[in-house]
Structure 1
Amino acid sequence: MTKQPLTPTGVQDKLTELYELTSTAIQVEALAIQADFKAWVKDQFTLTTNQEDYLDDLNQQTSDYFGSQCSVCFTNKLPIDLIYPTPHTGQYLKWTGSSNNLAVKSDGEGKPTATGSLTFEFTYTTV
């Protein structure tokens, strides 16, 4: 797959490319992002130095949670949106959040089936 910039458009382009893969190939990607969210993002997106540093500093529990949500979305070909406004000038704190309206159930074989969508949003607070 082609590396994309970590932008709203880049995320949509990556999902389009991903969701055109076979079910088996999508499952491989779903397991990869669940196992190591940070490594998957670095492998699939061209990051600025600031983005890479921020990703490296992301808490493991948060990273695991993000990877799990993305994995469910991948296997069910659900939308994932990125809201990434321009940072403030001067000193600021950057927050990353995710919100979703995912409804996840297991089918008769124990596989997750889901509906809904996932949104990642960056917000900034001046210090």
Structure 2
Amino acid sequence: MPLEPMTPTGVEDKIKALYLLSDTALQVEALSIQADFKAWVRANFILSTKQEDYLDDLNAQISTYFGSQSSICFSNRLPIELIYPAPPTGEYSKWTGSSNNLAVKSDGGAKPVATGTLTFEFSYTAK
């Protein structure tokens, strides 16, 4: 699978390619992103130096959370969107957030069954 740029279009293209995989291959990707979100992103996207640095600094708790959300979406072939506006000029702080309307169920044994959409959004605050 080719690397994609970390842009809204790149994420859309990556998700389309992932969802063409067999259920077994997609489950491998789901478990991989859940186990190490940062490593999976590095292995699947072309990142600028600033994006690499930002990913390196991403808090472990939030990285684990993002990986779990993404894994559920992969397992159920749910939409994942990226909102990534251009940064402002001057000094700024960059924030990463996720929002979703996921509804997740499990019978305890099988993979989780989910519906909904996951959205990652970058935002900026002037310093």
TM-score, normalized by length of structure 2? 0.98
Gaps of 5+ in 2: none
Q: Within the alignment, does 1:9 sit opposite 2:4 as a pair?
A: no
Secondary structure, aligned partner of 1:53: helix
Secondary structure, aligned partner of 2:70: helix
| Partners of 2:44 and 2:61 in 1: CA distance | 21
- Number of the residue aligned with 1:122: 122
Q: Within the alignment, does 1:95 sit opposite 2:121 as a pair?
A: no
| Partners of 1:92 and 1:108 in 2: CA distance | 45
User: Counterpart amino acid of 1:115?
Assistant: T
Number of residue pairs aligned between Structure 1 and Structure 2: 127
User: Counterpart amino acid of 1:24?
Assistant: T
Aligned-residue CA RMSD in angstroms?
0.8
Gaps of 5+ in 1: none
- Number of the residue aligned with 1:79: 79
Task: Give the percent of matched residue pairs that are identical in Structure 1 and Structure 2.
Answer: 70
| Partners of 1:67 and 1:108 in 2: CA distance | 20
- Shift of the alpha carbon at 1:111? 2.0
| Partners of 1:52 and 1:111 in 2: CA distance | 32
Which digits, 9 at most, give the CA deviation of each residue in 1:62-91, with x for residues without a partner? 000000000000000000000000001010
| Partners of 2:21 and 2:110 in 1: CA distance | 23
| Partners of 1:74 and 1:111 in 2: CA distance | 11
Secondary structure, aligned partner of 1:78: coil
- Number of the residue aligned with 1:56: 56
| Partners of 1:107 and 1:6 in 2: CA distance | 35
User: Counterpart amino acid of 1:9?
Assistant: T
Which runs of structure 2 are paired with 1:106-121 in the superposition (5 Å)? 106-107=106-107, 109-121=109-121
**Contact 2:33/2:67 (<8 A) preserved:** yes
